[in-house]
Structure 1
Amino acid sequence: MLIKFAYQDFLDDRRFNNTTPKNITNYTTLLGEFINYCHDNDIVNVEEITYKVVKTHLQECQKRGNKPSTINTKLLRIRAFLNYMVECEVIKVNPAKKVKRQKEDIRIEVFTDEQIRQMLNYYRRIKQRDKSYFAYRDYTIIVTILGSGIRRGEIINLGWSDIDFINNNISITGKGRIRETVPITEKLSKELSAYKTFCMHYFGSLSEFVFVGRNNRQMTSNAISLMFKNLSEVMNFKNVRVSCHTFRHTFCHRLAMSGMSSFAIQKLMRHTNISVTMRYVGMWGNELREQNDKYNPLNNMDI
């Protein structure tokens, strides 16, 4: 089967199975790069794709400066494509399965308490001085992520009907389009309630969505990227990236540091596999050990 037709068939299948537009774009970009590599090297049929073809492509990506995490993501996309070819009985075995993932030097960035205070105080000053909706909105976005750990796309799609102010929880559509209920603290519930009242006065009517733009319509992905970019430029932190995911990691970090069980953290973070949670807990376990060595009560006892 010609690779160019197989590639289009694969994308059509993903769309048919309701793969998100974001993931379709990822497939188009990352898998499309491999398809172009095959074309440039006169590999026109799926049956001609071998272990060596896949590995050589990824080695070239490495030479161009791709990080291990990027190469592993590309490998996953290629594997998914070739798995589909196996399902369609175009090939019998997926040659990419034998290609090993690269070891990643995982460093998960989190904010310090001082950095969090700086960001929140920055927005507080603007919203109190200028009565700015955008300062109030961006402040509430940060508080919501820090208080619940929800993801970027979940923030964008969060609706007022998803928030249960009586029982203090929010309903969100997470990865895999799974509907989940996340508990929130009374403190976050009060922050969202106050923000809701502000929005009603500011716009005159309440939008379906919690976080909106100037026109009272749903906030876009580009708008939230711009928000974090502007905040990053103002704060100018040297050792941490200002992003939605860093706030989510900070939420997870605080849970781990508090001594919460891995099972409870997995449920709050909504990791489908507890191994992901354990990776975080294991990493911050070193920090726990350092904190224990520094502050253990026995340090100052004459025994």
Structure 2
Amino acid sequence: MKIKKSVEKFLNTVSVERNLSDNTLKAYLGDLTAFGKFLQEKDITEIDCDDLRQYIRILEANHYKDTTIKRKIATIKVFFNFLEQEGIISDSPTRKIRKRYITAKRLPKVMSKDEVERLLREAYHEVRKLSELSRQLVESNSPNDKLMRAYRDRVILEILFSTGIRIGELVNLDIEDVNLNDECILIFGKGRRERIVLISNSEVLKALKEYLILRKNIPSRSKALFLNKYGERLSIYSIEHIFQKYCEKAKIRSHYTPHCLRHTMATMLLNNGADIRVVQEILGHSCITTTQIYTEVSLEHKKRVLMKFNQRNKMKIIS
């Protein structure tokens, strides 16, 4: 069996039996397609450890990140384990691959309070500016496309920062996921886990209500909360474009991504004394160790811990 056929069989099976998310399936497909190109459609039974070692060397030579190489190796191992279980191959060639990658510990990139405020102010300023322009140009109360997008962009940035949700979770939101009565949003996170995030700020809630009034009047078959100009669900790339647009308007020079709003929100929660377990639940982390990375960038948290628990503070050496 050629590798292309075996990859198709693998993906078709795991998508049904393991209930994997679309993102996981896309990652599997990307990793295995690249691996297949390297093998040039070699028969699956002919692949051995030397092929795998050569592929890893090529990845290293092309300066892939250690995290990327580690993920690709993990994907290949899952793939060959499946083929072995299905009886397509007798033994997985990955068994003899002992190489371990110690991934570098990278701290989350966090925006300053001033940068977040400038970013959000620009989003609110855009709505005010276009609202005034709209009133001057037409007598109708119906907002134009640019103004609609300004209302949309404002609430997108507000929700990303105030709730700390992932951009993938944001673009997957549907209108029905928003509960204005309880002031919360239902999120479908990684591993298809559900959680509820609360909207705790009155300005954010007001921005969301204003957008929802406009959204419900948009003629679209899509049930998505956030739409592009064609009436279709926004993509992750669109969110990145929106974020960069307002970073430029706010004259924020550092290179940030929309995900930095999540990092910033989590770090600020810890700085303000939030319990790490609660932060874990808010962010939707399955493991507390993922949340603990934010304590590394929370200087205020470190200071409080040292002031409270460092035994040196209880010693009086100089009389």
TM-score (norm 1): 0.81
Q: CA deviation at 1:181?
A: 2.0
Alpha carbons of 1:189 and 1:49: their partners in 2 closer, same or farther (altered >3 Å)? farther
Distance 1:207 1:175 in 2: 23
1:258 equivalenced with 2:272 (yes/no): yes
- Pick the structure with greater CA Rg: 2
Alpha carbons of 1:71 and 1:98: their partners in 2 closer, same or farther (altered >3 Å)? same
Check whether the contact 2:70–2:101 (CA below 8 A) recurs between aligned residues. yes
Distance 2:172 2:293 in 1: 28
Q: Which amino acid aligns with 1:255?
A: L
Unaligned ranges ≥5, structure 2: 132-146, 308-312
Distance 1:205 1:63 in 2: 48
RMSD of aligned residue pairs (Cα, Å): 3.2
Question: Does 1 or 2 have the higher relative contact order (CA < 8 Å, sep 6+)?
Answer: 2
The residue aligned with 1:65 is: 63
1:88 equivalenced with 2:78 (yes/no): no
Distance 2:126 2:90 in 1: 60
Check whether the contact 1:111–1:240 (CA below 8 A) recurs between aligned residues. no
The residue aligned with 2:112 is: 112
Match of 1:223 among 238, 248, 258: 238
Q: Which amino acid aligns with 1:126?
A: E
Q: CA deviation at 1:113?
A: 1.0
Q: CA deviation at 1:117?
A: 1.4
The residue aligned with 1:193 is: 209
Alpha carbons of 1:31 and 1:194: their partners in 2 closer, same or farther (altered >3 Å)? same
Alpha carbons of 1:84 and 1:204: their partners in 2 closer, same or farther (altered >3 Å)? closer
Check whether the contact 2:268–2:298 (CA below 8 A) recurs between aligned residues. no
Match of 1:247 among 253, 261, 265: 261
> Which stretch of the first structure deviates more once superposed, 271-280 or 125-134?
271-280
1:138 equivalenced with 2:153 (yes/no): yes
TM-score (norm 2): 0.77
Q: CA deviation at 1:95?
A: 2.2
Alpha carbons of 1:138 and 1:68: their partners in 2 closer, same or farther (altered >3 Å)? same
Identity %: 21
Q: What SS does structure 2 have at the residue aligned with 1:171? A: strand
The residue aligned with 1:161 is: 176
Alpha carbons of 1:196 and 1:7: their partners in 2 closer, same or farther (altered >3 Å)? closer
Distance 2:124 2:64 in 1: 40
Q: Which amino acid aligns with 1:98?
A: R
Alpha carbons of 1:150 and 1:97: their partners in 2 closer, same or farther (altered >3 Å)? farther
Alpha carbons of 1:256 and 1:80: their partners in 2 closer, same or farther (altered >3 Å)? farther
Alpha carbons of 1:292 and 1:20: their partners in 2 closer, same or farther (altered >3 Å)? closer
Q: CA deviation at 1:235?
A: 4.7
Alpha carbons of 1:81 and 1:286: their partners in 2 closer, same or farther (altered >3 Å)? farther
Distance 2:222 2:38 in 1: 46
The residue aligned with 1:8 is: 8
Alpha carbons of 1:212 and 1:82: their partners in 2 closer, same or farther (altered >3 Å)? same
CA offset digits 1:52-105 (Å, max 9, x no partner): 543432232121121112222222222221232233243445427633123224
